[in-house]
Chains A and B, each alone.
Chain A
Amino acid sequence: MKKINYLLFAIVVIFSACSKDNDNNQNQGIGKGFFVLNEGTFTYANASLSFFNEDSLKITNNLFFRVNNVPLGDVANSMTHWNNKLYLVVNNSGYIYKVDEKTILYESQLAGMHSPREILIISDTKAYVSDLYEMGFHVINPSTMEYIRFVRTGKSTENMLLLGDEVFITNWSQYEQQMPNNTVQIVDSKTDQVIDSVIVTKEPNSMVVDANGKLWVLCSGGWEGEETPALIQIDPQTRTIIKKLDFDALSYPSRLSINKQGDRLYYINSDVFTLTVEDSHLPEEPLIEAGKHYFYNIALHPQTATLVLADGSGFAEKSYVFRYHDDGRLIDSVQAGIMPNKIVFNY
């Protein structure tokens, strides 16, 4: 009986979404809007998946559990959209779930990893999975969800970005490791071998590419503030630092994002700040003040100038996702799951 209920729920999700006014054929299914991956509380296994429909302005929570009748897992760290599939990386459970983006029905999984963090799809047959504790990254087949091999880089891996045939990987964590965590490693995606690395500042946590093809790396400076946090611009061709903008020593900046034009950067440093890629100084005034909120992640709308901010201040309660205009004016807020983290647009 329960299975029938879940199937009916999936059908309702599909049909309710299809009944909306969809201009874009790619949006058939769950609708236009964004997914929110709610990390949950460490060891509580209360991670969840939400979807905010921009037509109805309503959010549906606990999607994965509703459809598949199993919990998503323990600490859902990241999510990637590829070929009408969603890849949900569940860090402390050590697996990746692949689900249909329209119905959220479970399709397959790849388990047995230690602490997978992010997945970067390179082709139909190859994806990289970074790992918090392993000294390298996993290579998997995203279509069949088969494990291919582990590539040893000598450092744990975190954020990944594909530029041409090269993958830039941040070495963010130094937990139980001898090697310093102040580098961005460059991997040839054809051979899966590390070909170079750039020394930045401790704890490079996020990267974006601007309209000029330059790589920006945000570094938080270390767990105990060992180095001055910095925002660093790198020429990916020469693999040299173009400019470095230092933060105050007590800062802890994270979650670097960029607008659709690729000319304006956003990041969280308790509050939300923005600067252009041409600026030579970090902004002093925030675009959005956090107040009592704990902004945990940020995403820029791929078509409009909307900012979506996740508030991670809840512990045992669901927290909020806020939508803002690019000038910092609040549009609205909706309640997602516990510790909303990664936001992925469905366009």
Chain B
Amino acid sequence: MKRRAVICCFLICLNLFIVRSQSLNDTIMLNQVDVIDSVLRKQPVSVMERKFDTISLEKIRTSNVSQLLMTHSPVFIKTYGPGGLSTASFRGTTAGHTLVLWNDFRLNAPNLGQVDFSLIPVFFSENIGLSWGGKTARQSGGFGGVVALDNKSVFNKGFSTELMQTIGSFRSLGTFATFSYSNRKIHLRTKFFQNSSRNDFEFLNTAVIPKTYMKQPNADYFNFGFMQEVHWLTKYGMLTATSWNQWNDKKLPPIMTNMKKGGKTEEYADEKFSRNYLSFKPIWQKGSLLLKSAYFAERQHYFLRTTSAVSDETVSLVDATNNADIFNEIVQVEQQIFKSWCFLAKVQWDFEKVYSNNYRETKQRNTISFFVETKFSLFRDVHFVTSVRNDIVDGKTQGYFPSANLTYTPVFLKGFSLTLSGIKNYRPPSLNDLYWYPGGNEQLNPEKGTSYDASLDYKLSKKDFSINAHFGAFLSYIDNWIQWKPTAYRYWIPVNISKVFARGFEVHIDAMYKHDNLKYFVSANYVFTKTTNEDPQSAFFDSEGAQLIYIPKHHANLFLNIDYKTWNFSYTFEFTGKRNTSTDKDDFFVLPNYNLHHISFGKRFGYIKTELRINNLFNMDYQAVLWHAMPKINYEFFISYKFI
């Protein structure tokens, strides 16, 4: 009780501090308008994060974040095929445990709790990064880690235009355009994209008798979106307004066993959203204030109609809408107190409102989050970051969630750093878990997780050569894991049933070498993950110690890029280990491991760049999700025009 009172007093003081900081803005604001960030960036930072390199991002710019993560990161993507749902498993956790942030705002849908990465174009973000361990402490839910998508302003670049076009197998088309203007004070950028595919690839259906070559039916998709950014460097700080609007229409193909079902099936999902935010960041010599405000309108529509096998009449119809309005407000203050001591405080208010015809009534959730973090250094080579967060959900405190991070950068071993991290976090049930009708369970408790990380990093940067290496190990315990289970009432309900233990290690290496007109870049990832259900009930089902479904123990990828004068060659390799689709130890439905190889050849002609991409080079027949068909070898031609 005494401890709680102390923490409450601390949080009240924090609020006062924030208010005071705001009131002091006018008096300590710098007049130098060209300063766009504070000196705090020079403080030692945790190594529990990684930004994707520009070469990888550039190479995969016309694709989606699902493809980026699959081929350039340790994150495993469970994909239902091109254009289909793609969710992430980060460090042995499931889709709902990977937090996705766009400029600090959560993209995880409040009704589902997860993100479909196939709907996020890489093209819309300048910076994409991963973070884990103590770096996930600022928000709830990122047990596995955080995928951060950020937009970056540039000034004094004048006008620039970039147009990109792709054309590929299965009538796939993609058009991308960027128009940008910036001077010393303003940066305006507009981006458009559109991609579509008939997606009717041929595959061998091994799930029917006799095994037959078929064309994937009902799998076409169409996506369109635009983003408008305004960055204005005022004399008080940076003012940013960004609007991301997108329309996604996709049909949903049947699974391989159901290709001979009678009647006609019309099944599709339409999604549209408008994500908008405004931010203002005044800075001063040793600190900054960040004010952010966002409004997201998410609209989802699912439609399923089947007709009789003996007539044209409709015999089943599902026409469901799931709409959400989300407001986020963030106030964050960062201040360097002493030379080696920084302090950060953040208050965030999230309001989520879901209108669904799968709920009995409109449901909403209010979350107020208080977060404080200190960074300080001991001696020259030991750096600490500690934080604590308290979330209040609909008036009920969820407890205090601390994190601690220690980084040791020995002066006698230049380039090396050792990091240890521990964090407690929680994830509230999704609104579907709570209110879906029928089955939603309002008695659900939040999932609670504890994670420990250790990593060794090495960085070396020379004029013609650089290398980054990361070796990390992790342990995560998640309690109250929410799982939907069948009941005697013919529908399923979610229950807090499992204790899950995820552990493993990962390796990332990237290296660059330049020699005359040759430039080599290689990036490789490997992750070993063991995730098991430790609930006593799992012993009853003989699934104790079995790997959880759709989490491969082994996942690896490699990317090689070679530039020679105006020529370019790249090779991408991905390995996905076998995956359980059931937790049985002797399961017959284990998906075998597969290797995929992709190559591309490119040539630049002044402002024009061309490229031929060959995906699934060795025509591999594989399944990423049980009995969901995947395309074999396919081709894509890319051309771009960039005028600066």
Chain A residues engaging chain B, CB cutoff 8 angstroms: 43-46, 48, 61-62, 65-66, 68, 70-71, 73-74, 90, 92-95, 97, 106, 109, 111-114, 133-135, 150, 175-176, 223, 252, 268, 270, 292, 294-296, 312-320, 335, 338-339
Contact = CB atoms under 8 A, between A and B. Distances in A.
Contacts of A314: 541
Contact of B258 (A92, A106, A176): A92
Residue of A111, A292, A315, A338 with most partner-chain B CB within 10 A: A315
A45 B582 CA distance: 12
Given A71-B627, A176-B314, A270-B488, A48 B206 contact: no
Contacts of B582: 46, 316-318, 338
A339 B207 contact: no
A133 B260 contact: no
Given A45-B626, A134-B308, A294-B486, 12 more contacts: A48-B588, A74-B258, A90-B257, A93-B260, A112-B261, A112-B262, A114-B263, A133-B316, A135-B308, A175-B316, A176-B317, A314-B541
A70 B206 contact: yes
Nearest to A95: B260
Nearest to B484: A315
B487 interface: yes
A339 B489 CA distance: 15
B300 interface: no
A94 B262 contact: yes
B541 A319 contact: yes
B589 A46 contact: yes
B209 interface: yes
B543 interface: yes
10 contacts: A45-B255, A46-B589, A62-B588, A66-B588, A73-B258, A114-B261, A133-B308, A150-B310, A317-B582, A339-B486
B310 A74 contact: no
Contacts of A94: 258, 260-263, 309
Given A114-B262, A114-B306, A294 B487 contact: yes
Contacts of A176: 314-317
Nearest to B589: A46
A134 B309 contact: yes
B262 A113 contact: yes
Given A106-B209, A338-B582, A318 B260 contact: no
A23 to B, nearest CB: 32
Nearest to B307: A114
A71 B581 CA distance: 13
Interface string B540-559: 11110010010000000000
Interface in B484-531: 484-490, 492
Contacts of A175: 316
A318 B316 CA distance: 30
Interface in B253-305: 255-258, 260-263
B394 to A, nearest CB: 28
B310 A134 contact: yes
Contact of B209 (A62, A70, A135): A70
B208 interface: yes
Residue of B314, B537, B540 with most partner-chain A CB within 10 A: B540
A173 B322 CA distance: 26
B262 A44 contact: no
Interface in B360-384: none
B581 A46 contact: yes
A213 B612 CA distance: 75
Residue of A73, A106, A296 with most partner-chain B CB within 10 A: A73
Interface string B611-628: 000000000000000110
Contacts of B543: 317-318
**When A and B form their complex, which 8 residue pairs have the shortest distance between CB atoms, in order from nearest?**
A94-B261, A111-B260, A133-B315, A62-B588, A45-B257, A150-B310, A112-B262, A317-B583
Contact of A335 (B317, B489, B492, B542): B542
Contacts of B262: 94, 111-114
B489 A93 contact: no
Nearest to B264: A114
Contact of B207 (A43, A66, A71, A106): A71
A109 B588 CA distance: 23
Given A70-B207, A112-B260, A252 B489 contact: yes
A270 B487 CA distance: 9
A197 to B, nearest CB: 21
Contact of A316 (B211, B487, B549): B549
B136 to A, nearest CB: 27
A273 to B, nearest CB: 13
